[in-house]
Amino acid sequence: MTTTTDVAEGRSVAPLTARDFKGPVDPDWCPGCGDFGILNSLQRACAEMGLRPHELLVVSGIGCSSNLPGYINAYGMHTLHGRALAVATGAKMGNHEMNVIVTIGDGDGYGIGGNHFTHTARRNVDLTCVVMNNQIYGLTTGQVSPTSSTGMKTKSTPYGSVEPPVNPITSAIMNGATFVARAYSGDVRHLTHLIKQAVKHKGFSLIDVFSPCVTFNLDNTHAFFKGRVKKLEDEGHDPSDWKSACEKAMMWGDKIYTGIFLQRELASLDQQEPVLNEGGPLGFRDLGLERKHTERIIQRMM
Amino acid sequence: MSSGKFDFVFSIGGEAGQGIATPGDILARVFVRRGLHLSTYNAYQSIIRGGHIFLTVRVSDEEVLTHGDKIDLLLCLNQDTADRHVGLMESGSRIVFNSDRIKINNPKEGVFLCPMPVSELTGGSRNRLIQNTVAVGAMVALMGMDFETLEESLVLRFQRRGQAVVDENVAMARAGFDYTHANFPLFAQGAPTGSKPLAVWSGNDALAMGGAAAGVKFYSAYPMSPSTGVLHWMASNARTLGIMVRQVEDEIGVANMAIGAAHTGCRSMCATSGGGFALMTEAVGSAGMMEIPVVFIDVQRAGPSTGVPTKSEQGDLWQILGASQGDFERFIVAPKDCLDAFNTMPELFNLVDKAQCPGIVISDLVISEGRFSVDPDLIDMHPVIDRGELITTPTASNGYMRYKNTETGISPRALPGLEGYVHVVATDEHDENSILISDEFTNPHKRRMMVEKRARKFRLVAEDVPAPELEGPEDADVTLVGWGSTYGVIEEAVEQLKLEGVTANHLPIKWIVPLKADAVSEILSRSKKIIIVENNYSGQFYRYLRSETGVSVDGHVRKYDGEPFMPHHVTTGVLEVMAGKTDVFVPYQEVVV
Ligand SMILES: Cc1ncc(C[n+]2csc(CCOP(=O)(O)OP(=O)(O)O)c2C)c(N)n1
Ligand code: SF4
Ligand SMILES: [Mg+2]
């Protein structure tokens, strides 16, 4: 198995295009849904990185967003609501040569799966987590989410939400994530670029993507984001400066930053685990034990 | 079992922090190195210091599966132990204690007291734990054993702590040994020597080793008594054996991570107790829907809720039967003892690999934390491995469908990463080609097809599971039915009943699913009387058995005080039910800890 991320050169096979990453069915998202931009960006990024479909595992939870694995030509796991990061960690440990991308919703990632979010970041599992953040529960037809703004009226907060939202960027930084970025799904070029950076990054990478739900979130619309998003790279942000990253991540008004807030080098979980040092992916190894080991184990019991 | 020529029980009582495990371990080594069988039960509480701990070790020249009914020799490490348990000691038994600090009040007539002047014997040693070693020397002497095997065991135990520690312990054990020979009458029947040295393990060791032997490559867990021993074994052997072991944020993560690893081809498992299993349940069903083989272990403790973390019960059966929403197929198995737990793991992994579904092992504190002798030649660390229809090499052809609706219902499973087999697995209902049929495109005919496909493959593979068999005479007066860890205690009760003039046979149920209800019904239809023995209040197993077979029974023996059955509890219960005194007999627990 050859599974590195930027290996297009040196291959005899024809390079793939974004179309080659089209899945067997068309998305059933509402027309105009922000999730389309994320799917497009992902397909482009895969093609541009020279990935082959079998080298990629896309893991999702449950939500409108989490239907994505069905729409991309790659190995996929459409798991339980909130559990994608846990499943993806297991899958990455089982086959650390695979490129793992997790595509989940804001409810999935920061609500029901919040504990996994914290710990996957802390462990620096080498996977890319793309949170398709529409600041609402889409699939369940429009309830408040952990990223909904204070005051937002939804079906479950008809008088306006009284709770403050979670800040995914500062949370991820505090949890020890080694690559933390934000994007807007309306800017496919920028998002494609960020996905490529994130996949190439060795360790846990988060891209929180504003992905407007045109049906249930009438506050955070494309129009809302278009005028507000500003790229960090245009302002010379230094991704090694975590304090500045946090300050910029907390700005929410006329200016909302996108781009890479923080990036740092740290050994990833698979690199830390001696069991993975040699022998290829765990899942493909022979199952039998060596007699010299089993005899020693039994000897110790006597 | 109890008819063994040599059948001896000793107990050690004290408080947490007094190092009770050490003499227990040392003596266990002495016995198994001598080739004697043993079964231990440690009654303890969920604290690190204080409380009352009571370790009971039964030794025999034949296999023993329970800690028996009586105590021949009691070692008191504190006054509390003496006061609590002196009443259990019968004529002919002996009590060893540190006479500097402990007084034995009101022993029954005929009980031999063996006061040890520990301070004098140890030259006033300030080492608080040294009284344990003196006592071990005394106990070995009382049982008529030589000093050499004890010395060997002490060296093994203490060598890592340096020669000085070894020397001190050997000298103190010797002092206790010699003092006893000089001052107390030894037991009339000395401990014999068996035919070959045995090994010792706990049920948790056995579950972990069985998993390792089956080829487990991924083990995840969140600590929870009494299952944590599995994690400890896995963690300490992981690097040598090439197993990835992860302690995870919670049991939800544990189960889902195990499933992720299993999907990539690892044999994966995780162990927990009832509370943790409750958190895992949604994932169990997801493995059923995605058709990913994975093994969950629930080591039961006394519930509900946090319950009594250090006590045992068979109270999780309905939780496990009902684990996860919807109809789906999974194996559920309750091994009968330590060795059976070990052997069950490879067997279960083969089944779940073939049927591509989850499997659940039900253990409990009695098996998992009990320590038992085992003939090392019976531990097969290289069992047959059958991974079923697993695809592990790439292909150039197209058209692979992960959930192909085959005649057997088994769809060949390709591991992610292989060229030519790109596919999605989904927890939503899906078509043969993984496309969801759950949201916009629900389709009743396809849904029915997929439900039936999953059921079909399970039914086929479940044929590999043996039907339960009746043990003992066909025409017995009564059939005792139990499941899981009550195996040993029922076997022993059958022997005791014989002495009371009652012939009993025993139907042990190991496989909960598939139960093989027809075979069970057929066996029970020939029983003169049926009594069900289980370690819970409401008769969980009885209710399951009745729902699957329609069988009605004559009575029950149930225990739910946290302590395991002793053989005479079952015997008395059967006699009372047979005499028509009660339908549900609940034994009185004599040993209070
Ligand atoms: C355990 C569980 N609880 C609740 C649900 C119902 N549910 C499905 S998706 C969802 C929320 C989806 O919101 P989000 O994760 O933000 O994804 P979106 O649909 O907005 O993309 C909920 C509550 C479920 N499937 N499982
Ligand atoms: S409901 Fe919202 S999130 Fe879901 S598909 Fe429609 S627009 Fe997208
Ligand atoms: Mg959402």
**Nearest ligand, CA of residue A84?**
1
Cβ-defined contact of B263 to A77 (cutoff 8 Å): yes
Mutate to test the pocket of ligand 2, among A215, A219, A220, A221 (most ligand atoms within 8 A of CB): A215
Residues B484, B552, single domain; the answer is yes
Report CB contact under 8 Å: A70, B440.
no
Is the Cβ–Cβ distance between A23 and B426 less than 8 Å? no
Residues composing chain B: 593
Contact assignment for B244 to A67 by CB distance below 8 Å? no
Q: What is the mean pLDDT of residues A22-33?
A: 96
Please report residues of B whose CB lies closer than 8 A to that of A78. Answer: 424-428, 436
Kindly state the tokens that stand for B455: 């059921």
User: Which residue type occupies B374?
Assistant: V
Question: Is B265's CB within 8 Å of A282's CB?
Answer: yes
- pLDDT for res A12: 60
Closest CA to B58 of B81, B44, B41: B41
Ligand 2, residues at Cβ distance < 6 Å: A 29-30, 33, 35, 64, 134, 138, 213-216
Task: Tell me, yes or no, whether B590 lies in a domain.
Answer: no
Residues B299 and B235 in one domain: yes
Tell whether B235 is covered by a domain: yes
Count of C-beta atoms within a 10 Å radius of residue B190: 14
Residues in B closer than 8 angstroms to A74, CB to CB, are 422
Inform me whether the C-beta atom of residue B257 falls under 8 Å from chain A C-beta atoms: yes
B119 in a structural domain: yes
Nearest-angstrom CA–CA distance, A105 and A98: 22
A145 CA: nearest ligand 1 atom: 16
Question: In 10 A of CB A297, how many CB atoms?
Answer: 20
Taking CA–CA distances from B240, the nearest residue in chain A reads A293
Q: Smallest Cβ distance to A285: which of B199, B220, B242?
A: B242
| Dihedral sign, Cα of residue A49, residue A54, residue A60, residue A66 | positive
pLDDT of residue B32: 95
What is the structure's pLDDT at B406?
98
Contact of B329 with B458, CB cutoff 8 Å: yes
| Shortest CA gap B259–chain A (Å) | 6
Looking at residues A136-152, what average pLDDT do you find? 98
Residue in A67, A140, A214 to alter for ligand 1 test, most ligand atoms within 8 A of Cβ = A140
What share of chain A in percent tops pLDDT 70?
96
- Answer whether B435 sits within 8 Å of A70, measured CB to CB: yes
Pair (B402, B445) in one structural domain: yes
Q: Is B433 on the interface with A (CB under 8 A)?
A: yes
User: Among B542, B511, B531, B539, which residue's Cα sits nearest to residue B571?
Assistant: B531
Centre of ligand 3 to C-alpha B285, Å, is 24
Q: Which of B427, B462, B497 is the last residue of a domain?
A: B462
Domain of residue B576, CATH code? 3.40.50.920
DSSP B551: -
Counting one residue from chain A and one from chain B, the pairs whose CB atoms sit within 8 A come to: 220
Q: Confirm or reject contact between B240 and chain A (CB < 8 A).
A: yes
Please give, rounded to a whole number of angstroms, the shortest distance from the CA of A301 to a CA of chain B.
Answer: 5
CB B563 within 8 A of CB B589: yes
pLDDT tens per residue, range A251-272: 999 999 999 999 999 999 999 9
A77 bridge partner residues:
A59, B425
Question: Is the peptide bond prior to B514 cis by the omega test (within 30 degrees of 0)?
Answer: yes
pLDDT-wise least confident of A5-19, A220-234, B78-92: A5-19
Structure tokens given for B47: 């604290």
Contact A267, A256 (CB under 8 A): no
Check whether residue B41 and residue B168 sit in a common domain.
yes
Q: Which residues of B touch A87 (CB under 8 A)?
A: 256-257, 259-260, 263
What percent of chain B lies above the pLDDT cut of 90? 93
Say if residue A5's pLDDT is above 60: no
| pLDDT for A115 beyond 90 | yes
Q: To the nearest whole percent, how much of chain B has pLDDT over 70?
A: 99
| Cβ-defined contact of A75 to B424 (cutoff 8 Å) | yes
Q: What angle do CA A106, A113, A225 make, to 5 degrees?
A: 10
Q: Is residue B195 part of a domain?
A: no
Percent of chain A with pLDDT over 90: 95
Q: How far is the CA of A62 from the centre of ligand 1 (A)?
A: 5
Across the interface, whether the CB atoms of A70 and B434 are under 8 A apart is answered yes
Q: Is the pLDDT confidence value at A289 over 80?
A: yes
Which letter does DSSP use for residue A72 in this model?
Answer: B
ipTM of the assembly?
0.96
Chain B contacts of A25, Cβ < 8 Å? 435
Compute the C-alpha angle A301/B4/B10, nearest 5°: 60
Which residues does a 6 A CB cutoff place in the pocket of ligand 1?
A: A 62-65, 81, 105-108, 132, 134, 136-140, 145
The answer to whether B266 contacts A283, with C-beta atoms less than 8 Å apart, is yes
B62 touches A: beta carbon within 8 Å:
no
Q: Which residue type, as a one-letter code, is found at position A13?
A: V
- The architecture (CATH level 2) of A17-301 comes to 3-Layer(aba) Sandwich (3.40)
Find the mean pLDDT for residues A49-67: 98
| A40 Cβ neighbours under 8 A, 6+ residues apart | A18, A188
> Environment class of residue B146 by beta-carbon count within 10 Å: exposed (0-12), middle (13-18) or buried (19+)?
middle
* Residue of A24, A75, A283 lying closest to B433 (CB–CB): A24
Q: Measured from the CA of A141, which atom of ligand 2 is nearest?
A: 1
CA distance B73 to B187: 10
| pLDDT score of A11 | 53
Distance A182 CA to ligand 3 centre (A): 15
State whether residue B2 sits within 8 Å of chain A by CB: no
> Of B138, B155, B183, which residue is a domain's last?
B183
Question: How is chain A split into domains, by residue range?
Answer: 17-301
Instruction: Give yes or no: residues B362 and B404 share one domain.
Output: no
CB atoms within 10 A of CB B394: 13
Give the Å distances, CA to CA, from B108 to B86, B92, B555.
Answer: 8, 10, 36
Is the CA virtual torsion B226, B230, B231, B233 positive or negative? positive
Q: What is the DSSP string of A195-257?
A: HHHHHHSSS-EEEEEE---TTT-SSS-HHHHHTTEEEGGGGT--TT-HHHHHHHHT--SS-EE
Nearest-5° angle of CA B582, CA B585, CA B587? 140
CATH number for B276: 3.40.50.970
Q: Rounded to the nearest 5°, which phi and psi values hold at A156?
A: -95, -5
- Measured between beta carbons, the chain B residues lying within 8 angstroms of A91 are 260-261, 263-264, 416
Question: What's the CA-to-centroid distance between A30 and ligand 2, angstroms?
Answer: 5
Q: Of B336, B356, B378, which residue constitutes the final position of a domain?
A: B378
The token pair at B527 is: 């029983």
Query: Please, which pLDDT band fits residue A15 given cuts at 50, 70 and 90?
Result: confident
Domain hosting B518: range is 478-585
Residues B581 and B513 in one domain: yes
For B:348-407, CB contacts with A below 8 A are: 374, 376, 379, 381-382, 385, 387, 392, 394
Taking CB atoms and an 8 Å cutoff, what residues of chain A touch B212?
289
Residue nearest to atom 26 of ligand 1 (CA): A81
Residue nearest to atom 5 of ligand 2 (CA): A29
Ligand 1 mean position to A46 CA, how many Å? 27
DSSP string, B97-124: EETTT----SPPTTPEEEEE-HHHHTTT
Mutation test of the interface with chain A: which of B200, B217, B372, choosing the one with the most A Cβ atoms within 10 A?
A: B217
Atom of ligand 1 nearest to the CA of A108: 15
Q: Is B188 domain-assigned?
A: no
Q: Going by CA atoms, what residue is nearest to atom 1 of ligand 2?
A: A138
Q: Tens place of pLDDT for every residue, chain B, 593 residues?
A: 334 589 999 999 999 888 888 888 899 999 999 999 999 999 988 777 788 999 999 999 999 999 999 999 999 999 999 999 999 999 999 999 999 999 999 999 999 999 999 999 998 888 888 899 999 999 999 999 999 999 999 999 999 999 999 999 999 999 999 999 999 999 999 999 999 999 999 999 999 999 999 999 999 999 999 999 999 999 999 999 999 999 999 999 999 999 999 999 999 999 999 999 999 999 999 999 999 999 999 999 999 999 999 999 999 999 999 999 999 999 999 999 999 999 999 999 999 999 999 999 999 999 999 999 999 999 999 999 999 999 999 999 999 999 999 999 999 999 999 999 999 999 999 999 999 997 767 899 999 999 999 999 999 999 999 999 999 999 999 999 999 999 999 999 999 999 999 999 999 999 999 999 999 999 999 999 999 999 999 999 999 999 999 999 999 999 999 999 999 999 999 999 999 999 999 999 999 98
**pLDDT value for B129:** 87
Integer Cα distance of B233 and B213 in angstroms = 13
CA distance B265 to chain A (A): 4
Residues 6+ apart with CB under 8 A from B148: none
In total, how many domains does chain B have? 4
Instruction: List the single residue in B217, B387, B421 with the smallest CB-CB distance to A285.
Output: B217
